[in-house]
Amino acid sequence: MVQSIGKGTFYLMIAEAVSLFSTYIIHIGLARYLGPDAYGIFGVLMSLYLINNAFLGDGVPKAVSKYVAESKDKMQAIFHSSFKLQLLVAIFFCAAYVIFSEQLALVLHDISLKPYIIFLGFMVIPLSLIPLYANGYLNGLRLFRQQALIKIIYPLFRVAFTFIFIYLGFEMFGVLAGYLIALLFGLFLCWYFVKIKDSSHTQSDARSPFPQFPLRTLLAFSIPVTAAALGLTLIRNVNVLFLKSLMGDNILVGYYTAAATLSNVPYLIFSALPLALLPAISRSVAAQETALTKKYITQSVRYLLLLLLPMTLLVAATSKEIVTLFYSSAYTSAASVLGILIFSSMIMVFVTTLSSIVTGSGKPHIEMIFMFIIAGTVILLNFILIPLLGMIGAALSSLIASLFALIIAAAYIYKKWHALISFLSFFRIAFCSVILFFVASLWHFSGILIFVNYAILLLLYVLLLMLFGELRKEDVSLVQKIFKRGH
């Protein structure tokens, strides 16, 4: 049964929350159990895993979702053509991993990684097919409940099997085996739901035993989407690989992975804003409502700054306490890296939001260019800074590259619409946030009580905003509306 967009959004929000929570359980659990050395190897393997997922899990599935939603009478043709395309690409990736596993391990200066890289190669096939079914077929058919169910069950199985194999003493192969079994089970669920829908669907193209949909059409849509997703994933994950390759120290990689995982929280929390903003910008630009477009831009930037800047500065001021709370005192060295990466993560939220505004205005290729400029800058800076500064150099590479991208994106937006944020609002928010940073640096608890600090300091932040006149009636009304919708 086709479900509404409202219900679908609700289902998928729950699924994303479960997936995010399960990922952090695995990271923190493995970091504590394995220690920084083995956790560093896990960080390297997960960086490769996420890059694979970005390349295979975004472009074609989104194209399938779009064309299935538009042409249900061509559903069978889209299914056959997209499955064939995705499977061929996955097999190519699998073969490349197996054939070049030794060379890749040598690039990372650790030949012991070779069997793990081969294992990752075989994982590519189910890894590529799950998003094709879940985010492509099921999403296009608006079977959001089934899509969400897969996105919930798969990560829960991943947690369960990973820790079962770890408990049995299989260590890194146990982690990969847990991921693989969860992938296979998730793939079975995908096949089951699509098979039921397929058998109940009246197919106008069923006369042909192997109906086809133009591959050129799928590729034209999926290539820029894939490129942008790959660029973004490289920005967020390539530093781990460079740190491993240039320094060869698993413990340093373990510290960096811990800091990067914690710093990703703001990015993941606010990643929904670009998705919600894109259609709104598309409508206002299409209707030539320039004033409304400017309003969307200024409101988005202001609210992001209101929420993100104080959170970022609080984490930066208490980075040591946050790292030891979640990862234990064995990872204290990651605190300085977290203090840098949290700013990079904040800036990347602004970059992706501004990029979505550009895409919403009908220029998706510019977003792709933005992402590749940042990725290229990160790679270049890694070569320069990691040999000089180690993991601090890797963190600074991300910070400098993301800041460079923000300047480019903000300049483009301002030149096109003459809108970002008023200087007065920027100054007030920044001033109140800096006060918060100094108070947090001088006064904070350790352990779980750090969240008591955060609550008190955020209340102080709200009072400061009111005192300086930055908190407006419309802000209070917006919060009230959100709470009313929640009930």
Higher-confidence residue: 279 or 286? 286
- Give pLDDT, residue 125: 92
Average pLDDT rounded to a whole number, residues 429-452: 93
- Give pLDDT, residue 388: 96
- Give pLDDT, residue 8: 60
Residue 1 has pLDDT above 50, yes or no: no
The H-or-E segment that residue 19 falls in is helix 5-57
Mark 344-381 as b/e (b = at least 16 C-beta within 10 Å): bbbbbbbbbbbbbbbbbbebbebbbbbbbbbbebbbeb
Coil/strand/helix, residue 478: helix
Question: How many whole angstroms separate alpha carbon 368 and alpha carbon 359?
Answer: 9
- Give pLDDT, residue 481: 61
Question: How many whole angstroms separate alpha carbon 41 and alpha carbon 20?
Answer: 21
Residue 212 has pLDDT above 70, yes or no: no
- Confidence class of residue 362 from pLDDT cuts 50, 70 and 90? low
- Confidence class of residue 58 from pLDDT cuts 50, 70 and 90? confident
Residue 356 has pLDDT above 90, yes or no: no
pTM: 0.86
Query: For the segment 407-440, what is each residue's pLDDT rounded down to a tens digit?
Result: 998 999 999 888 899 999 999 999 999 999 999 9
Cα within 13 Å of Cα(292), Cβ side: 12
Q: Using CA of residue 371, residue 222, residue 44, residue 274, what is the dihedral sign?
A: positive
Tell me the average pLDDT of the chain.
85
- Confidence class of residue 330 from pLDDT cuts 50, 70 and 90? very high
Query: For the segment 164-200, what is each residue's pLDDT rounded down to a tens digit?
Result: 999 998 889 999 999 999 999 999 988 888 776 665 5
Residue 255 has pLDDT above 80, yes or no: yes
User: Is 39 in contact with 257 (CB distance < 8 Å)?
Assistant: yes
Higher-confidence residue: 92 or 71? 92
Least confident of 123-132, 226-235, 341-350, 381-390: 226-235
Spatial CA neighbour of 168 closest among 178, 154, 181, 179 = 178
- Give pLDDT, residue 135: 80
